[in-house]
């Protein structure tokens, strides 16, 4: 039995191109619509928010897009990342399954987020932008963009969802260490924030609301652009480096996954892993490959939301995207997996789910923490609460293999460590955490306010 535990590419073998799934989709993505006219948006509609190179990437159908040398130079601080074989977890589960995980927690901010943060900061710098606003849920994206901004001399302003701002103070400190400014959302600095505070002074906030604040801030200044850490096509494009590295490593050691599992909030981490693999399913090379998107039961976008056009933010400032959604006014409960508390999902993931090429599953908070503790006590890694959702499903699938006797190969997209999530671990270990099942009535109320699209 091959007991080798870790596999890593040489630095010179790090991918030189990102992979663009839009070149291989069996049907093109539904158009993104202007909220005022209902017509498909054009580059001029996005120019106040994004640099033109990112706008081009958003709509490109080129299969491979070159990674700039300046971006690869920063990537070398932590890339290529390691692919691990989870021998100890397999043994603890007494399963014939072979479990691998690609670990993104070795980046300086501790997650996958810098893969796109560095690229976005670079393209903004090339366009002469001095300042970027953004939102963050658990703080991984805000810290990653602050990190990237420090390399390219760009001022970063982060609107952090209030409940996560309170739960995860050290994420704010990380942002400030890299020169970013972080404030809780809803805030009194924007009209969207003031409106929510007037309605509910104790609002825990949401990613949709934080996006509204960041967009409102960005369009009010000529020297400022907005940056999004998930959902959009160009973000998933940049994250494809995860899957490209993984695929190259698995080919090198002669294995291919039967099942790929990852967590999804906006979807960039997991899509970055599986898009280079789903291409094989689309072209018929690997028709039986299963890809499982895991979300929290308290924010069940893919598993309970309709596939419909909706705003990406709460205030209705963004274009309309077709996605599985719980409604842009959805206010999720304050679970610790703050990065998964988004009302919508990346249009690419939604499109693939609608076509039947990927699956979705929702998991409760307590079960995910139990899985995370099992992972920590076998593989040694203290995982982010978001990642634990995927670990839960990996363990479930491995136990199914134990029952059936099948030695399936399971690949986990491990999106980051939980070193600044100790309050969440303490709450779980002391019995203070509980599960949240969002009321069906509240979801229906939010969905009743979906924009009308004809």
| Whether the predicted pLDDT of 330 surpasses 60 | yes
Integer Rg of the chain from CA: 20
Q: Per the omega criterion (within 30 degrees of 0), is the bond before 158 cis?
A: no
Given CA atoms 287, 32, 209, 164 in this order, what sign does their dihedral have?
positive
Collapsed DSSP state (helix, strand, coil) of residue 452: coil
Helix axes 422-429, 365-379, angle to 10 degrees: 110
Give residue 438's pLDDT. Answer: 73
Q: How far apart are CA 2 and CA 370, in angstroms?
A: 29
Q: For residue 83, give every residue at least 6 positions away whose Cβ sits within 8 Å of its Cβ, in sequence order, or none.
A: 6, 7, 8, 100, 101, 102, 103, 245, 246, 249, 250
Q: Are strands 131-136 and 6-7 parallel, antiparallel or unpaired?
A: unpaired
Read off the pTM. Answer: 0.94
Mean pLDDT, range 415-419, rounded to an integer: 94
Give pLDDT, residue 1. 43
How far is Cα 137 from Cα 210, in angstroms, rounded to an integer? 8
**Where residue 338 falls among pLDDT bands split at 50, 70, 90?**
low
Adjacent-strand bridge partners of 417: 383
> Average pLDDT for residues 116-127, to the nearest whole number?
98
Please determine, for residue 336, whether its predicted confidence score (pLDDT) is greater than 60: no
Q: pLDDT tens digits for 366-390?
A: 999 999 999 999 999 999 999 999 9
The domain limits of the chain are 77-110+233-447
Tokens of 369: 């923490």
Reference 185, options 154, 199, 206; nearest CA is 206
Bridge partners for 413 per DSSP: 102
211 token code pair:
């996006």
The residues facing 378 across adjacent strands are none
Residue 453: per-residue pLDDT? 85
Using CA atoms, how far residue 185 sits from 190, 292, 301, in Å, is 10, 31, 22
pLDDT at 417 over 90: yes
Rounded to whole angstroms, what are the CA distances from 264 to 31, 109, 292, 301, 340? 22, 19, 10, 10, 6
Alpha carbon distances (Å) from 242 to 117, 232, 277, 388? 14, 17, 11, 18
State the chain's mean pLDDT as an integer.
Answer: 94
CATH topology of domain 77-110+233-447: Rossmann fold (3.40.50)
φ, ψ for residue 155, nearest 5 deg: -75, 135
Specify the length of the chain in residues. 454
Q: Which of 118-122, 134-138, 417-421 has the highest mean pLDDT?
A: 118-122
User: pLDDT, tens digit, for every residue of 268-324?
Assistant: 999 999 999 999 999 999 999 999 999 999 889 999 999 999 998 877 778 999 999
Model pLDDT for residues 206-244, shown as the tens digit of each residue: 888 998 999 999 999 999 999 999 999 999 999 999 999
69 by Cβ neighbours in 10 Å (0-12 / 13-18 / 19+) ranks as: exposed
pLDDT of residue 334: 64
Rounded Cα distance between 227 and 199, Å, is 27
Q: What is the pLDDT of residue 82?
A: 98
Please choose, from the candidates 87, 117, 85, the residue with its C-alpha nearest in 3D space to the C-alpha of residue 103. Answer: 85
Residue 354 has pLDDT above 90, yes or no: yes
Local structure of residue 12 (DSSP, 8 states):
G
Residue 437 has pLDDT above 80, yes or no: no
**The pLDDT value given to residue 37:** 87
Residue 363 — pLDDT band, cuts 50, 70, 90? very high
- Structure tokens given for 310: 């909706």
What pLDDT, on a 0 to 100 scale, did the predictor assign at position 317?
A: 78
Which of 230, 275, 223, 357 lies closest to 15 in space, CA to CA?
A: 275
| CA distances from residue 383 to 3, 17, 165 in whole angstroms, order as listed | 23, 29, 19
Structure tokens at 300: 């069940």
Coil, strand or helix at 211 = helix
Please state the rounded mean pLDDT for residues 180-187: 96
Higher pLDDT, 312 or 127: 127
CA 123 to chain centroid, in Å, comes to 20
pLDDT value, residue 335: 59
The percentage of the chain sitting over the pLDDT mark of 70, rounded to a whole number, equals 98
Q: Which two tokens stand for residue 169?
A: 């103070």
Q: How confident is the model at residue 339 (pLDDT cuts 50, 70, 90)?
A: low
Closest CA to 387 of 410, 368, 363: 368
CB 391 within 8 A of CB 368: yes
CA distances from 422 to 188, 380, 430 (A): 29, 15, 12
- Residue listed under structure tokens 């809803």: 186
Three-state DSSP at 65 gives strand
């Amino acid at each position: 039995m091959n007991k080798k535990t870790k596999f890593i590419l040489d630095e010179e073998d790090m991918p030189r191109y990102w992979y663009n799934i839009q070149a291989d989709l069996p049907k093109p993505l539904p158009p993104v619509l202007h909220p005022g006219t209902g017509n498909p948006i054009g580059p001029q509609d996005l120019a106040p928010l994004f640099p033109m190179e990112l706008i081009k990437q958003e709509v490109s159908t080129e299969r491979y897009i070159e990674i700039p040398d300046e971006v690869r130079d920063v990537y070398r601080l932590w890339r290529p990342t390691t692919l691990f074989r989870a021998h100890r977890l397999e043994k603890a589960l007494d399963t014939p399954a072979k479990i691998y995980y690609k670990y993104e927690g070795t980046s300086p901010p501790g997650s996958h987020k810098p893969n796109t943060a560095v690229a976005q900061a670079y393209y903004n710098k090339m366009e002469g932008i001095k300042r970027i606003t953004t939102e963050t849920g658990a703080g991984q994206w805000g810290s990653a963009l602050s990190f990237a901004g420090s390399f390219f001399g760009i001022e970063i302003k982060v609107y952090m969802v209030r409940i996560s701002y309170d739960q995860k103070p050290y994420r704010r400190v990380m942002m400030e260490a890299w020169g970013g400014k972080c404030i809780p959302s809803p805030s009194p600095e924007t009209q969207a924030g003031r409106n929510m505070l007037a309605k509910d002074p104790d609002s825990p906030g949401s990613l949709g609301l934080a996006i509204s604040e960041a967009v409102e801030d960005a369009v009010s200044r000529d020297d400022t652009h907005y940056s999004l850490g998930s959902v959009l096509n160009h973000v998933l494009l940049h994250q494809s480096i995860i899957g490209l590295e993984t695929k190259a490593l698995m080919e090198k050691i002669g294995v291919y996954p039967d099942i790929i599992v990852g967590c999804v909030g906006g979807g960039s981490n997991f899509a970055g892993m599986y898009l280079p693999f789903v291409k094989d399913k689309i072209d018929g090379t690997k028709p039986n490959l299963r890809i499982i998107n895991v979300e929290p039961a308290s924010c069940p976008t893919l598993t309970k939301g309709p596939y419909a056009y909706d705003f990406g933010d709460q205030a209705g400032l963004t274009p309309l995207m077709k996605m599985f959604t719980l409604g842009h006014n959805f206010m999720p409960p304050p679970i610790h997996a703050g990065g998964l508390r988004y009302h919508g999902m990346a249009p690419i993931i939604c499109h693939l789910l609608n076509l039947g090429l990927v699956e979705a599953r929702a998991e409760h908070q307590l079960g995910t923490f139990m899985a995370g503790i099992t992972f920590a006590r076998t593989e040694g890694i203290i995982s982010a609460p978001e990642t634990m959702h995927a670990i839960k499903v990996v363990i479930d699938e491995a136990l199914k293999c134990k029952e059936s006797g099948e030695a399936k190969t399971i690949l986990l997209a491990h999106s980051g460590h939980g070193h600044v999530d100790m309050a969440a671990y303490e709450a779980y270990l002391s019995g203070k955490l509980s599960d949240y099942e969002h009321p069906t009535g509240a979801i229906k109320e939010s969905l009743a306010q979906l924009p009308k699209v004809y």
